[in-house]
Structure 1
Amino acid sequence: MQGRLKGWKQLAADRRKSVFLTLIISYMIILLLPVTLGGFFYTRIEAIMIENANSSNTAMLEQVKRTIDSRMKEIDQLTQQIAFHPKLLRMLDQRGDGDAEQNLTSFIDFMGDMSRYSKVNSFIADSYVYFNNSDIVLSPKMKTDSHTLYQGIYNYQNLTYDQYKKQILLPYHSRFFNPSEEMTDGQGNSIRMITYVQSLPIGEKEHVAGAFVILINEKQITEMLANIQGIGDETVFILDADGTVLMSTAENDQENGEIISYLKKLDGGLSGKGSLEYAGTGQVKGQGQGLASDMMVAYTTSSQNGWTYVSVVHKAIVLSQVNAIKMWAITVVMICLAAGGVVCYYMAYRHYRPIRDLVHAVVRGGGTNSTAAFPKNEFELIKEKVHTLFEKEKDLETTLSRHALVVRTEFLSRLIRGHVDAAALTEQDLDFMNVHFESGLFAVLLLDIDDFSEFSQQNTEREWALMRFILSNVSVELLEHKSYLIEMERDRIAILVNLPTGDGCDTRMEAFVDNLKDMMDKRFKTKLSISVSDVHEGIERIQECYNEAVFAMAYKMIKGQNTVLYYEDVQKFGQSTYYYPMEMEVQLMNVARSGDFVNVEKILNRIYEVNFQSGGITPEMGKCLFFDMFSSVLKLLGSLNIEHNLVFNDESDPVRIISKCATAEQMVDQIKRLYKQLCEVVQEERTDHGEQLHRKMTDYMQEHFHDSMLSLTMMADHFGMNASYLSAFYKNYSGRNVSDEMTEMRLNACKRLLAESTLTVSEIAQQVGYSSNIGLTRVFKKAEGITPGQYRSAMNHESG
């Protein structure tokens, strides 16, 4: 016996172990699946980041290319204008002879033209024309010779004077760009310049008469690159068509030389648009000294001048965040795996424990007392037990079918009261209750037995049961639709009607009600009160039908007994609320804020008409309406900071103003009186406030008109107003626009400075609020008909 018991325990332990292992392996697979997928996705992060970085760098370079190409096109246009200038061509033909005064005049005129032409491009630091025969240099600002220009103005640190002449001025050059080089200007400042050279005349290779030279400040290009979105840690190179590096943004000369050396070694150079990588040895920012870093290179070539724009960035910088995330991810994954293993074991044990307990319960209660009685595992044991339970359920259904009528009546009684979750009912549930609905349309009728004394003089339970039986049978006989009767109380029967789809349901219901009342009155001398709900769709709305029927039956105390009450009709009796929507309250308060009592009165009349003349509001609801309207007055007083005694006439308890009124007419009159006093106070305060506000705005413009940033928006922010409202207020109060007032102040100050000072027009423009003399000249000429310079000349002539 003990041996058999020991064998049973060992077998049960083996079976439990097998189920437990199945559960824990399943949980481990679920745990490892997202970890595996996460590892796969992390391997794709680096490639995606590199691809995104290359795309971003290429897009940035395209923007750089378009910007610089546009500026270079302007330089080409300037070169064409200078090279083919008639005065320049005449001066190039001269051999140094001729009238000196005439030559000087020609030089001065040409220098003035150069000054006008050179302002079209912000890249141009300076430009000059060199004449070979006379060694004269003409720039927009001066006339000198090449030696003076080299020694005192633009001294190339890497070129001697002779090299400067031989490489820059004397040879034939066609749209030649000398790479950026350090030079010292006349004040001793060190600057980097790109030198553009075009020999003159254009196309004359044998007889070079001169050269047109443009100096491009590298700082201007660098600042432009810094303002382009996307440029961060990248190093940008600009190469000409021959692969010569014109300039770069590299901060480290060693790194700069390494990258340039790599670019020169590329087979076929860089052309078109693309990206590549190479192993660099430069220092990575923030990574320490001496660490090698792969470099990512993106490039694009201009079709206009053949220049190539190259972006170089350390790969480690692009992937720094990815690498940090990977380290964190690996750490988190390891922690999750350790914790997940523990959780998997716990969850497997937790979910196995009910199975173990169930098996023990089956063993104890199912008569299993030997190893031979055990199936192969716990699941088969449970399956066998469930099969047995199903057999018992069938037996139970057989027993319940004998009491189907009682069960169905109880079920329907709970259904119409809402004690059943109708949304969860299935066809099988309804079949079990022997309930069948032909459609989804339902209505509920309540039949109250008011008086059957003429049919029976006795008032016993037996007589009441007999009357309910008669009423139920007559109802079933007369009602054409599928229906179910439920005895609710001694004198009340509910009928759940399942209506067919289609028109005419309401008409047939009315016919049934009329026929039922007529038959019960004539044949059985019984008085009935009947309430009928609206028709609703869906089993879950049966409770709503019942509630509507109960609501309608409650009006029997008003209509009397032996009546038919339709919910559609009784729901209209009386108004359960009042009409004072939020939108109308906001409109009323906004009109009152402006002091417009005429429109306030119109709105109040409309509210009164809708609620008391057109509607059927009760006295209680009327009082609620007026207290709500009274609260709007209190809100206005608080938002406008108006003293209460100015509107309530020192009334200690303002609520009494409404509560002591006996009629609605008196209440609305009191509300109108309050709003009228409020509007009068608003109008009085608005007059003083408007004058002060206009004076403050004028003073503010007088103090800040010299600021070029002064605008309507700036004033609106200062005064805490909407810009449109401020503009409309100023125009309505003074009859002038804010912009016209600012312009007049600036022009008056400009006239005074033109007449009383020796400042230039550009300096005056900055002092009176214009960013350049061009804007001032345009506005001044539009207002006065002449330019500022002409105005100053006229004033000097008058004073002379």
Structure 2
Amino acid sequence: MVGRLKGWKRLAADRRKSVFLTLIFSYMIILLLPVTIGGIFYTRIEAIMIENANNSNTAMLEQVKRTMDSRMKEIDQLTQQIAFHPKLLKMFNPRGDGYAQQNLSSFIDFMGDMSRYSSVNSFIDDFYVYFNNSDIVLSPKMKTDSYTLYENIYHYQNLTYEQFKEQILLPYHARFFYPSKEMAVGLSQTKRMVTFVQSLPIGERDRVDGAFVILINENQITEMLASQGMRDETVFILDADGTVLMRTAGDAQESGEISSYLKELGDGLSGKESLAYTGVGMGKGQGVEKDMMVTYTTSNQNGWTYVSIIPKAVVLSQVNAVKMWAITVVLLCLAGGGAVCYYMAYRHYRPIRDLVHAVARGGGADSTGVFPKNEFELIREKVHTLFEKEKNLETTLSRHLLVVRTEFLSRLIRGHVDAAALTERDLQFMNVHFESGLFAVLLIDIDDFSQFSEQNTEREWALMRFILSNLSVELLEHKGYLIELERDRIAILVNLPTGNSRDTRMGTFVDKLKDMMDKRFKTKISISVSDVHEGIECIQECYNESVFAMAYKMIKGQNSVLYYEEVRKFGQPTYYYPMEMESQLMNVARSGDYANVEIILNRIYEVNFQSGGITPEMGKCLFFDLLSSLLKLSGSLNIDQNLVFSGESDPVRIISECATAEQMVDRIKRLYRRLCEAVQEDRTGHGEQLYRKMTDYIQEHFHDGMLSLTTMADHFDMNASYLSAFFKNYSGRNVSNYLTEIRLNTCKRLLAESTQTVSEIARQVGYASNIGLTRMFKKAEGITPGQYREAMKHESG
């Protein structure tokens, strides 16, 4: 008996040790599990911090972009006010005869008006107008010349006076921004300025009478960036060509690296407002490689790109501090948690130990009931927790049920769901209920709602889809499910009652829906209806039939109803356009007889689209064939295609952009009419007469500095592009080249035969100053007019 009792005690001791170790290991695992999970999630802190910094930089850059766009609009408004000021236009050409009369009184009057236009834009430091012919500079505060302006007022430290004139004042510029450069302002002040230049008059590329210049203070932009919280970042502003207009820090080499970096990313960043990149090596030219975070955004107004660069180390400095605190807290938690685990394991082991002792003593131990109470408490708490989780799960599912069901129905009608494997439980989970096995699919296209709303925004499209969805559900008495497929297309999966394979309610629904959308909401819609099929697995077939029927909208036009059972009978295997008819069409067009051309085109259209059935694909092929005949005919007649296609480089696009057959035949008729007009013009003697009139007009007015393609078009009452195409097609050279040749020959004759100065000769041949003449002469002859005169003297001597 004694030996048996000792054996029970030894067994109890072994069990006590194993149970205690199991409990303490369990508690340690419970302790380490959240610590491990927290450590895993903690590794994401760096990415989260970078993402937050990127979002913050993006928001600040967006604010900077909006502010800059607003300032640029003010600059554009100031430019328009000055450029189209009546007094300025009068000083350039007061009488309309090509000669500008400028005197002190007109300058003073205009300066007084300019002072009233002084902008409240804090970015603008100053602005002035430059006159090419007189080399005069006018600002709201002064009148001077370009040399005095350059030397004493605004001295560009990186440009000579000649470069200042050649690069900024004299060339043609349209809203040109010269990058920020150091500039000596007055005698003692230095500023960094961005120079805005607009040639005057606006839009006259071949005639530059002057320039409107605005000086933008970079310090004001930098202060604006700092006021919006961008102090640690380096900000670059690049124009649409990738040129760095200004930067808040860094050197020119780093600016070039940033510009090249964005160009290299190019296609990968297409269509993105901003994106963060880490691990970008910057500052390599200085022997230092840093990891930077780059954020950028592009303005839709002027194409400028705003780039923010911040060292990754700045962002991660906070992360490193948090890491140290986290490691300290984790160590303290592990130490305290270990002690708590030991205590809890020992506490819960005590009832088990008493039970083991009781078994060892033959079951005589006193039962206190503590252990069962703890077990039931644990079970009660566990069950309560499970009930709470289940309730939360049901709440979450109910919130997302509509999105889940819409996605399920979208995949179901497209055939991306194994319909045969669907069970009633699956459908109940998706909150989808089918009363029968008969199905049909309707497609609704929103063709035109311009009478309902003039705006064409995503908000208006969403509102129209909402209206259409609510009307459809109400008219179908909740017997259908709606799926939004595209911006202008909605699909309806209809579940028909049993025994009605051809439910008349479908037609009633279509008629009521079209009538209500037309009368109440002024909206044109097209509806295609599939046949009725039985079985969930046939829903994809219904959808395909509806899509096939909707394609015939090209034939029947917009705002139509298309039933698959009607359109499937159409579709002849080819179209009617025999070689004899093509030959007849080309012969009539070759003679310039558009009346008969229109008769033939109407006959082709009636035979293929009105008298017989033709598929949309075959219809497009027919119009491409008609376009091919036109291209072959224009090529054989040597007619400039610009006269026929109005400068369109891709004639196929003319047909591809049409939505209906009526639009396509109208485009084809218009092209053939232009061809016939060109043929008739070539057949008459008008072409040569017109060309001689043009050359005579140029001979008589080449000395006029205002002579241009636009003035010639106004004189002959013609379109400028047509006049240019006609002159080049007839003579083989441009109007501008012919005008330059006449002026050059006259200039050479005057240089050889007269003693007039180069400036006097320049005015006689149509140039406002000797600068324009010298540039043209050197480009054509390789030497200046003065060198040419000296060479002619040596030859004659």
Greater C-alpha Rg:
1
- Is TM-score (shorter-chain normalized) higher than 0.5? no
TM range (shorter): 0.3 to 0.5
In the superposition, the TM-score normalised over structure 2's length comes to: 0.43
